[in-house]
Structure 1
Amino acid sequence: MAEENKEQEEQKGGGKKKLIIFLLLFIILAAGGGAAYKFLVLDKQAEEEKKEKKAEKIVEEIKNVEELGIQFDVGTFIVNLTDKDADRYLKISIVLEVQDEKIKAELEKRLPQIKDAITTLLFTKSSSELKNSEGIEQLKEEIIKRINAILPIGGVKNVYFTDFVIQTA
């Protein structure tokens, strides 16, 4: 009788081991399925959202071109970039689009401040930041923010780069 109880207890212990192994396999498979779902489905959704944002930005740029404001040529800048592996220079010519003649007059009065703000910003950039369209768009947004912060009433609508060259020494 004692031997039969021992055998029943060993069989129960074996069943517990099987149950634990089954649960571990189930958890591993569920985690794998969740990861696959994330990489296959959610990443595609994020990519589609990016494409939609780019399309919206293109439509916005087209609208901005249709409503062209007053142009103000800030000038050409030649600055060193922050690349550590090689000396790189940026030559960039900038034209600002402003809302009206008042803002253009204010830009002319504050031109040294504006040039300083742009030069200081350009010194912080590396060639890798400026190699793609996202980096260039970000630079445009930063220039707009800096110049509008200098002007008492803001008014810079857009920035155009009429010359943009990165050169290696």
Structure 2
Amino acid sequence: MAEEKEQQELQQEEGKGGKKKLIIILIPVLLLILGGGGFAAYKFLFASKNEEKPAEKVTKEVKNVEEHGVELEVGTFIANLADKDADRYIKVTIVMEVQDEKVKEEATKRMPQIKDSINTLLFTKTSEDLKSPEGIERLKEEIIRRVNAILPTGGVKDVYFTEFIIQTS
């Protein structure tokens, strides 16, 4: 009987040691699983939103580059402004963006008409009209309308001022 008691005690000690080993192994494994799950949840829920925005921005920039038309240099204009209180003049260099080469050729053929129309428009403006960014945008829109009216198919997409000076003489 003494031997049986010793064997039972040995088995109990081995059982306790086995449970301790199992606990020692399971705790780090569970911590790794929980940590990995938490990291994956963070990346999925929070980081994916931040990563999409730069990709959308790049897509929009590429789209804008693809839509750019053909540039046509119109020239430099110097005109007296319609101010009554002082003599002021404007010096502006204009580049137009047109749809394609066909529109560019047509605009080149009609350049005297285009330049006359722009000069006539500039003579009607005052320095107050052109003082603000909104005023400059209105001038661009008016130039686009006038030039598109001259061209049979229209086709002017935008106007760029590469030089813009208003001066009092």
| Bin for the TM-score computed over the shorter chain | 0.5 to 0.7
Superposed displacement of residue 68, structure 1:
1.4
TM-score by length of 2: 0.62
Match of 1:5 in 2: none
Q: Which runs of 5+ in 2 are unaligned?
A: 1-61
Distance in 2 of aligned mates of 1:132 and 1:63: 30
User: What number of residue pairs does the alignment pair up?
Assistant: 110
Q: Percent identity?
A: 70
Per the normalisation by structure 1, the TM-score is 0.62
1:34-113 matched pairs, under 5 angstroms: 67-113=67-113
Partner of 1:158: 158
Radius of gyration: which is bigger?
A: 2
Shift of 1:65: 5.7
Moved over 3 A (4+): 62-66
Alpha-carbon distance in 1 for matches of 2:66, 2:131: 28
Where 1:83 maps in the other structure, the secondary structure is: coil
Compute the displacement of 1:128 (Å): 0.5
Distance in 2 (CA, whole Å) between partners of 1:114 and 1:165 is 21
Counterpart position of 2:12: none
Give the distance between the partners of 1:68 and 1:143, measured in 2 at CA: 19
Deviation by residue 1:105-140 (Cα, 9 ceiling, x = unmatched): 001100000000000000000000101011000000
Deviation at 1:64, TM superposition (A): 5.2
Unaligned ranges ≥5, structure 1: 1-61
Distance 1:158 1:93 in 2: 14
C-alpha separation between the residues in 1 aligned to 2:64 and 2:116?
A: 27
Shift of the alpha carbon at 1:67?
A: 2.1
